[in-house]
Structure 1
Amino acid sequence: MNAPATILPHSPLDRLTFGNSFAALPPSFYTRLMPTPLPAPYLVDTSAGAADLIGLDPAAFADDEFIQAFSGNRLLPGSQPLAAVYSGHQFGVWAGQLGDGRAILLGDVAGNDGGRLELQLKGSGMTPYSRMGDGRAVLRSSIREYLCSEAMAALGIPTSRALSVIGSNQLAMRETQETTAVVTRMAPSFVRFGSFEHWYYNNQHDALKTLADYVIAQSYPELLDSDNPYQALLAEVTRRTAHLMAQWQAVGFMHGVMNTDNMSILGLTLDYGPFGFMEAYDPRHICNHTDQQGRYSYQMQPQIGHWNCFALGQALLPLIGSVEATEEALKHYQAQYAAKLDDLLHAKLGLQTRQPDDDKLFDAMFGVMQASHVDFTLFFRSLGELRQDDPASDTVLRDLFIDRAGFDAWALQYRARLKAENSQDQARKLAMHATNPKYVLRNYLAQIAIEKAQNKDFSEVRKLLQILEKPFDEQAQHAQYAALPPDWAGALEVSCSS
């Protein structure tokens, strides 16, 4: 198949002036190659919020040059496309060399915040790292990643972003034949824990140092003056990862595949596959149908985050210089996670002060939630409506519980705790509604949008994005998107093919 042509000057995309910092690394870090053109591409949806991060006028979305550029059919001037190599532990087992098997990095462009953002086409064709894959992404998984990337950003959770989804009638085989698509992902860096593991396990310590120096210079320049910049790098990545795990837990988000090759060196949520948001609360819930052992269940995510940081520490050991210094960088993970989650839980319950028994209140809350398998998002959103002196106001909240007596007993404790800090109902409600989303990307909502898109109706993708961009707003006209999932949603399964 022919390589992409170059987009001509005076395109609406002229604003995107490419740099290629990753391409300046030695050739062993990547393979230069062109995206494989996507036959007869069509626009599925675009994110104005993501475009704004790189100063791209949404008017460019209507131009055919946009579709051609972000389907991989034409090369943007200055871009030096490449696929990066990395390795990793998958489901706790060393998998050896992996790499960008269906993603091609176009380069980096200036962001509105003064930094730079890399643009990557996911689903843009085979690379030397595709192993047995076809290099394509299907429309289903592309829409899921697109919507969840933007939804997580709106929730205030660190994440890669998604600029667009471009579809095609070209087919690829998954469980069945499905149409293909390309999603454009954006992040300051797509370097992973597994990028460091690759050089460590291949005993190439010079390359390991080159990568670490690059990451520090590009993303953590404040660490350059540290006594041991590599130890400082590990400590900062460990801190960010601990905080990210707490943020996931606080909104009920489950990643599904927390392999080290899917862990961002910047502490971003990366590589959306079989993710899910908790509905009927069960800490043992496994969102990934492929994960038969439950390694990546909801309750395991914080522990796996810690495990992955240890894997990164092992890879950085030759640079840090000693086991003791490496352990020093890792030792604060649990305290950082616990402190961040404690802050988030206090905010979710509208508590402005700390009391010695707050952990018992939280534990009791999760206990009654689990006993009745209460919808996670609805519970916390409804809790903001509770009034201290009017138990009769609990009707909607109470009706979420099978064990209403259990809820009543906990609500009594909660009310006493609110009174102990002279909480004011209206102010607390506003604060809680600003931290507890009304709208999250439930799998069944994504499925409805996907099925319509597969029939060339992209209106539900657009509508869902607009709702998810304002997850804390009431949006009374869209209240049905915050309702309990229908019965058929319980039969939905997502797997690594998602």
Structure 2
Amino acid sequence: MPTQLGQLPPARRFQALGTSFYCATPTTPMANANVVAWNAPLAATLGLSAQKEQVHLADYLVGNQTPQDTTPIASVYAGHQFGINAGQLGDGRAVITAELTDPQQRVWEVQLKGAGPTPYSRRGDGRAVLRSTIREYLCCEAMHGLGIPTTRALGIGGSPQSIWRETRETAAVLTRLAPTFVRFGHFEHQYYRNNIEALQQLADWTLQYHYPECQAAAQPYLAMFAQIIEKTAHTIAQWQAVGFCHGVMNSDNMSILGLTLDYGPFGFLDGFNPGHICNHSDDTGRYAYQQQPQIGLWNLHCLGQALLPLIAKTDLLAALSQYQAQFETAFAEQLRQKLGLTLWHEEDWTLVTDLFELLQGAQTDWTYFWRTLSHWMAQQNDAPLHDLILDRTGFAAWLTRYRTRLALDPQSNLARSRAMLNCNPKFILRNHLAEIAIRQAEDQGDMSEIERLRACLAQPFDEQIENEHYAHLPPDWASTLSVSCSS
């Protein structure tokens, strides 16, 4: 029998840490709650009722009711924002309401984002707007479809209640899940307050529930840190491979599990530009696409600093020195698959670098190019590829080198093409697709496009002929779209 959302128990694991890590935080009611979106496939996977009509679902999604009438909790953390230590931060508009154990015995924290102010709101209203909530809901599920570690989105609750951002907008609340929402910043908070006992308690808790295999190591905290480094490197390598730009990689937005966390001013590359900045609030380009790998390392240094009371500095630095090689290995593996190669050779970096220069020179659409290359592999028709590159002579020379490289791999073109189509997506969450769903929801009160788009993005490698329009290149008006930290 599927479980109803309202029947879930409180977040016992996180609550066991004690009140130096969180505050009990009642949600703020919203009048006339409605269900904007309900991720029925995810609900079914989790052992929850997939029915959108379950009792009081809208009230649970906005926080008017909490599972078993328990009081939610908001956690406290610190963080470096745009390179500056911002001091105490915390869940300013998010609260953990419950804990869910799925049929595979995996434990998930259930969190509401936008359910009202918390003690950490820093004069904010604790609300989220419908626009940003739809974007995060869709991108969580798009990233999961791409096989990239991410928080998950279960549903959106809405209300006619309006709130003020740059203009007056409609409020909404996102229900999202993760094995834990603990961030680098949780460790930073305890370190900078010199709460060494609490810091060790958090490290022990993390070992127990999320890195149990490290407990038997000679240095468990170091072993855990090494795994966090590796997970972070692998996730960012996957971001780079699909052209995903997070937009605000502050250390408080970095997950200790390597999850993609806190979708705000994110974006996927359209035309390939390594310096692309998806967040118009990022004046210096700190979080540009090409900067993401090094910012990941920078944030890991922040976490390492916080772990100094538990791990010797020399050991921390030795672990951090492995990041670059781990990232390069993970990125090379992504590129190997995208290019349809059996093995990666060191000289393949030159082949890839030259390709990137050709793509950049033409501002070639990143996703469209790789998908076209995947089909070219089986058809060997050069014309569609040449149409994507301005420097035709340079690209013809590159294609000759690529064919020579492919000849070193004992694999048929058809098999290679099939493998490439399974790693080069046809569908990504382009900004204009999200914007269409948002405008339809805001202007017409029609939420149906959200579900259609989510279902498509859940299968990004399939052809989906009925959804062909979602794979089209962006229209001209999409170039005027802008997202910021308020998005």
The equivalent position to 2:468 in structure 1, one of 463, 467, 479, is 479
Q: Could you give the per-residue CA deviations for residues 139-174 of structure 1, whole angstroms, max 9, x where no partner exists?
A: 000000000000100100000000001111111111
Paired letter, 2:351: L
Distance in 2, Cα, partners of 1:167 & 1:13: 17
Taking the TM superposition and a 5 Å limit, the aligned residue runs for 1:220-299 are 220-299=211-290
Distance in 2, Cα, partners of 1:201 & 1:382: 50
* Equivalent residue number for residue 366 of structure 2: 376
* Equivalent residue number for residue 428 of structure 1: 416
The equivalent position to 1:318 in structure 2, one of 309, 322, 327, is 309
1:284 CA drift (Å):
0.4
Paired letter, 2:288: S
1:57 CA drift (Å):
2.1
* Equivalent residue number for residue 89 of structure 1: 80
Distance in 1, Cα, partners of 2:473 & 2:229: 36
Taking the TM superposition and a 5 Å limit, the aligned residue runs for 1:68-217 are 68-77=59-68, 79-217=70-208
Q: Is the 8 A contact 1:15 1:55 kept in 2?
A: no
* Equivalent residue number for residue 36 of structure 1: 28
- Find runs of 4+ consecutive structure 1 residues off by over 4 angstroms: 387-390
Q: Could you give the per-residue CA deviations for residues 63-110 of structure 1, whole angstroms, max 9, x where no partner exists?
A: 241111121011211744100000000000000000000001113110
Distance in 2, Cα, partners of 1:368 & 1:494: 28
1:281 CA drift (Å):
0.2
Paired letter, 1:376: W
Q: Is the 8 A contact 1:139 1:180 kept in 2?
A: yes
Residue 56 (1) aligns with residue 17 (2) = no
Paired letter, 2:466: Q
The equivalent position to 1:464 in structure 2, one of 450, 453, 462, is 453
Give the aligned CA root-mean-square deviation in angstroms.
1.5
CA, structure 1 residues 125+404, in 2 after alignment: closer, same or farther (shift >3 Å)?
same
1:54 CA drift (Å):
2.1
TM-score by length of 1: 0.95
Q: Is the 8 A contact 2:35 2:61 kept in 1?
A: no
Q: Is the 8 A contact 1:152 1:159 kept in 2?
A: yes
* Equivalent residue number for residue 442 of structure 1: 430
* Equivalent residue number for residue 4 of structure 1: none
CA, structure 1 residues 14+285, in 2 after alignment: closer, same or farther (shift >3 Å)?
closer
Q: Could you give the per-residue CA deviations for residues 450-471 of structure 1, whole angstroms, max 9, x where no partner exists?
A: 0001121011111101110110
Distance in 2, Cα, partners of 1:452 & 1:443: 14
Paired letter, 2:360: Q
1:12 CA drift (Å):
3.7
Q: Is the 8 A contact 1:80 1:107 kept in 2?
A: no
* Equivalent residue number for residue 406 of structure 1: 394
1:19 CA drift (Å):
4.3
Distance in 2, Cα, partners of 1:371 & 1:248: 22
1:232 CA drift (Å):
1.2
Q: Could you give the per-residue CA deviations for residues 232-286 of structure 1, whole angstroms, max 9, x where no partner exists?
A: 1111101100111101000000000000000001110000000000110000000
Gaps of 5+ in 2: none
How high is the sequence identity, in percent, across the aligned residues?
50
Q: Is the 8 A contact 2:32 2:159 kept in 1?
A: yes
Distance in 1, Cα, partners of 2:115 & 2:174: 9
TM-score by length of 2: 0.97
Residue 490 (1) aligns with residue 460 (2) = no
CA, structure 1 residues 19+29, in 2 after alignment: closer, same or farther (shift >3 Å)?
closer
Distance in 2, Cα, partners of 1:46 & 1:404: 47
The equivalent position to 1:333 in structure 2, one of 306, 323, 331, is 323
1:301 CA drift (Å):
0.1
Distance in 2, Cα, partners of 1:332 & 1:11: 44
1:378 CA drift (Å):
0.3
CA, structure 1 residues 73+403, in 2 after alignment: closer, same or farther (shift >3 Å)?
same
Residue 245 of structure 1 aligns to a residue in which SS?
helix
The equivalent position to 1:20 in structure 2, one of 12, 29, 37, is 12
Q: Could you give the per-residue CA deviations for residues 119-153 of structure 1, whole angstroms, max 9, x where no partner exists?
A: 00000000110002110000000000000000100
1:44 CA drift (Å):
1.0
Gaps of 5+ in 1: 1-9
Distance in 1, Cα, partners of 2:377 & 2:175: 45
Q: Is the 8 A contact 1:19 1:78 kept in 2?
A: no
Q: Is the 8 A contact 2:375 2:421 kept in 1?
A: no
Distance in 1, Cα, partners of 2:166 & 2:189: 31
Distance in 1, Cα, partners of 2:158 & 2:383: 46
1:416 CA drift (Å):
1.3
